[in-house]
C-alpha cells in the first residue's frame, strides 16, 4: 500500500484482555486462567530504545551533548555500566522483546519473523496491560499482530528522518537506500510518505505515543509503552536549530572530546581508571586531515549530537505527559541503546548519498569509525563487534520513589533479562504455548532484586554471536573474537580489565579452550529454540 499519510484521526479501539495468570514473583510458565485488567498496584512501564548510540554520548555517561531529561532519569535512578545488547539492531531488538537470544527466536542472521517466543507486548497484554508501541521494529511482522494494541512506526531498518517515502511537491528528493515499510495499527504502507511538512521521525514517534497516553489515560489498567526511536542511526539528519547548538563543538577534533568524556566518567564515579583503563584510540590524527575533511567531520558529529539532543527533548515530552496525567510516580522508565555507535558508512542506495548539506533531507551521511571510537569511550571498537564498544549499552532504570536514585550497578546484564524483569514487576506469567505450540521460557533472568537495591548472585554465562564476532562471558572471564581460526580468540579478565586492553589468551590456554567449548555448546542448544 502506498500514498500520503496524515497522523490525524486514527482509529480508537477497545482492547481485548487475553487469558493468563498474574503472579507476584518471577515469570513462570503456566497454563491459562483469567486475568483482571484492573490496575491494582502494578506499575506502568515506558521502555525507550535509542538506535546506534554510543556508550558515552549522553551526559550521565560522560558525554558533552545536552541531554538534561535523560540525565535526570539517570542521576535519580539506577545506571548500569555492564548492560549488554547484541552489537546489531535487529538481533538486539529481538532479544529485548522476547527475553531470548536472537539465535533462539530466528532473528540471528537476518531480520524476519520472531519464532518460538512471545513478545513483551504479548506477555503484558496477557497480564491485563494496555500495550502501546511507537517507533522501529526491525523485522517483517507488524507489531500490531504481536501483542500491541496500537502501533505506529517503521517496520524496517533505517529511513530518511524527514521523509521516508516519495518526493513531495516543492521539495528535493529524499536521500534513501530504498523504500521502507511502515505500519499504522493493522495497516502496512510501502512506501510511507507523510503529509506533514514538520515530519521528523523522532518527533512523530513521540506525537503518537503522547496521543496514546492521552487516549487511554482514564482506563483502570496499567499501560506498557515501547518507544523505539531511530536516532541517532544514519542518515545523519536533524533540525537546523538543533544543529546550530553544536556547530563549533567538534572543530578541535576527536582527541579532546574523548579525553574530556573519559575524565567526566571517572570524576562522576561511573567508572574507575584501574578497571576501566582508556583503550587505545583508533581514530585518525586530526591534524593530518585536510581542511575540507575536518569541516565535514566536525559537521557530521554536530548533526549526530543534534539528533541525540532532539531525542532527549522528546523524552522530556513523554515525562511531562506522564506528570500531566498523574502517572509519573507509578511508571517504571527504562532507557537503552540497541548497540554501540556505528562505524558503518552507507555508500549505495536508491539515492545515496544524494546532494545538499550534511544534515538535510536530501543528503545521506554516516558517522564513520573515527567518531564512533569517540562515542564508545572508553571501550574498543563499535557496532557489529562483540567487544564492549559494540555490545555495552548505557542502561537506565528510573521509578520515582521506588528505585533509589544515584546508584550504579556493575552486574553483567543482557537484553534477554528485560522481559523476565518486567514479568516479575508487572505480575505477568510466561505462557507454555504460543500459536498452539509449546515454547520454552525466557533465557534471561529477572533483575528486579537489583532495582530494589538488593544483591543478585549469578554464575551464569552470557553469549554473543553476530557476523564475524563471537563472545562468551562468565565470572571474571570474557572470551571474544572477530574473525575465524582458533588463534582469533582473545581472553580478558573483566574484573580487572573491562575495556579489554590486556589479552591473556596465550597465558591461559586452558580457559580459552573451556570457554570456546561452552560457546559451541550454546550454539547447539540454541538450535533447539
pLDDT for residue 123:
98
Catalytic residue among 60, 89, 158, 392: 89
Q: Are 146 and 325 in contact (CB under 8 A)?
A: no
- How far is CA 237 from each of CA 140, 161, 291, 306, 327, rounded to the nearest angstrom? 25, 6, 23, 9, 33
Q: Which three cell numbers stand for residue 165?
A: 517515502
Query: Across residues 158-175, what is the average pLDDT?
Result: 96
pLDDT for residue 107:
84
> Mind listing the pLDDT tens digit for each residue in 89-101?
999 999 999 999 9
For residue 457, give the nearest of 420, 501, 416, 412 by alpha carbon.
412
Domain segments of the chain as ranges: 39-458, 468-529
Q: Which three cell numbers stand for residue 284?
A: 585518525
* Reported confidence tier of residue 529, pLDDT bands at 50, 70, 90: low
Query: With 60 as the cut, is the pLDDT of residue 9 above it?
Result: no
Active site residue 138: yes
Catalytic residue among 84, 111, 137, 138: 138
Q: pTM of the predicted model, to two decimals?
A: 0.93
Q: Are 244 and 299 in contact (CB under 8 A)?
A: no
Query: Across residues 397-403, what is the average pLDDT?
Result: 96
For residue 215, give the nearest of 13, 6, 8, 5 by alpha carbon.
13
Query: With 80 as the cut, is the pLDDT of residue 347 above it?
Result: yes
Query: With 70 as the cut, is the pLDDT of residue 411 above it?
Result: yes
Q: Are 60 and 75 in contact (CB under 8 A)?
A: yes
pLDDT for residue 118:
96
Residues 391 and 379: their CA atoms lie apart, in Å, by 10
Q: Domain 39-458 maps to which CATH number in 3.40.50.1370, 3.40.720.10, 3.40.50.720, 3.40.710.10?
A: 3.40.720.10
pLDDT for residue 376:
98
Residues 45 and 29: their CA atoms lie apart, in Å, by 22
Would you call 512 helix, strand, or coil by DSSP?
helix
Length of the chain: 529
Identify the architecture of domain 468-529 in CATH.
Answer: 2-Layer Sandwich (3.30)
pLDDT for residue 111:
86
> Mind listing the pLDDT tens digit for each residue in 11-57?
222 222 222 222 233 343 333 333 445 666 899 999 999 999 999 99
Q: What's the mean pLDDT when you consider all of the chain? A: 92
Query: Across residues 116-138, what is the average pLDDT?
Result: 97
Find the range with the poorest average confidence among 20-24, 343-347, 519-523. 20-24
Residues 405 and 76: their CA atoms lie apart, in Å, by 4
Q: Are 56 and 141 in contact (CB under 8 A)?
A: no
Residues 19 and 75: their CA atoms lie apart, in Å, by 39
Amino acid at each position: 500500500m502506498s500514498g500520503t499519510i496524515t497522523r490525524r484521526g486514527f482509529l480508537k479501539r477497545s482492547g481485548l484482555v487475553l487469558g493468563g495468570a498474574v503472579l507476584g514473583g518471577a515469570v513462570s510458565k503456566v497454563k491459562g486462567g483469567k486475568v483482571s485488567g484492573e490496575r491494582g498496584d502494578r506499575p506502568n512501564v515506558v521502555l525507550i530504545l535509542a538506535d546506534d548510540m554510543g556508550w558515552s554520548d549522553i551526559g550521565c555517561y560522560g558525554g558533552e551533548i545536552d541531554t538534561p531529561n535523560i540525565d535526570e532519569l539517570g542521576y535519580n535512578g539506577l545506571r548500569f555500566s555492564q548492560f549488554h545488547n547484541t552489537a546489531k539492531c535487529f538481533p538486539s531488538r529481538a532479544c529485548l522483546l522476547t527475553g531470548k537470544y536472537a539465535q533462539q527466536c530466528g532473528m540471528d542472521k537476518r531480520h524476519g519473523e520472531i519464532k518460538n517466543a512471545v513478545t513483551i507486548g504479548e506477555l503484558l497484554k496477557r497480564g491485563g496491560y494496555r500495550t502501546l508501541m511507537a517507533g522501529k521494529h526491525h523485522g517483517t511482522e507488524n507489531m500490531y499482530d504481536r501483542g500491541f494494541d496500537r502501533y505506529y512506526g517503521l517496520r524496517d531498518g533505517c529511513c530518511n528522518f524527514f521523509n521516508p517515502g516519495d518526493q513531495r511537491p516543492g521539495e528535493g528528493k529524499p536521500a534513501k537506500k530504498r523504500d521502507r515499510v511502515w505500519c499504522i495499527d493493522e495497516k502496512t504502507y510501502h512506501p510511507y510518505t507523510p503529509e506533514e511538512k514538520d515530519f521528523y521521525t523522532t518527533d512523530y514517534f513521540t506525537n503518537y505515543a503522547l496521543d496514546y497516553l492521552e487516549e487511554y489515560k482514564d482506563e483502570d489498567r496499567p499501560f506498557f509503552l515501547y518507544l523505539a526511536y531511530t536516532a541517532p542511526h544514519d542518515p545523519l539528519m536533524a533540525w537546523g536549530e538543533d544543529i546550530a547548538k553544536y556547530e563549533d563543538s567538534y572543530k578541535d577534533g576527536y582527541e579532546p572530546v574523548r579525553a574530556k568524556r573519559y575524565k567526566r566518567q571517572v570524576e562522576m564515579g561511573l567508572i574507575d581508571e584501574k578497571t576501566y583503563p582508556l583503550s587505545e584510540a583508533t581514530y585518525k590524527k586530526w591534524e593530518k586531515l585536510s581542511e575540507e575533511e575536518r569541516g565535514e567531520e566536525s559537521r557530521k558529529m554536530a548533526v549526530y549530537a543534534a539528533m541525540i539532543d532532539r531525542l532527549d527533548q522528546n523524552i522530556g515530552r513523554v515525562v511531562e505527559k506522564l506528570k500531566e496525567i498523574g502517572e509519573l510516580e507509578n511508571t517504571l522508565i527504562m532507557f537503552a541503546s540497541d548497540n554501540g555507535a556505528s562505524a558503518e558508512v552507507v555508500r549505495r542506495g536508491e539515492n545515496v548519498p544524494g546532494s545538499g548539506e550534511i544534515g538535510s533531507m536530501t543528503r545521506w551521511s554516516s558517522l564513520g569509525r573515527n567518531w564512533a571510537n569517540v562515542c564508545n569511550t572508553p571501550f574498543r571498537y563499535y557496532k557489529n563487534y562483540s567487544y564492549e564498544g559494540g555490545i555495552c549499552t548505557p542502561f537506565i532504570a528510573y521509578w520515582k520513589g521506588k528505585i533509589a536514585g544515584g546508584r550504579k550497578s556493575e552486574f553483567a546484564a543482557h537484553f534477554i533479562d528485560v522481559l523476565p524483569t518486567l514479568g516479575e514487576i508487572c505480575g505477568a506469567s510466561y505462557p507454555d504455548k504460543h500459536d498452539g505450540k509449546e515454547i520454552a521460557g525466557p533465557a534471561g533472568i529477572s533483575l528486579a532484586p537489583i532495582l530494589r537495591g538488593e544483591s543478585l548472585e549469578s554464575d551464569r554465562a552470557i553469549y554473543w554471536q553476530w557476523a564475524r564476532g563471537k563472545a562468551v562471558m562468565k565470572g571474571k572471564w570474557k572470551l571474544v573474537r572477530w574473525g575465524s581460526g582458533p588463534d582469533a580468540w582473545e581472553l580478558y579478565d573483566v574484573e580487572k580489565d573491562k575495556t579489554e586492553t590486556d589479552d591473556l589468551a596465550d597465558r591461559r590456554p586452558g580457559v580459552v579452550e573451556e570457554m570456546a567449548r561452552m560457546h559451541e555448546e550454546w550454539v547447539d542448544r540454541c538450535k533447539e529454540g
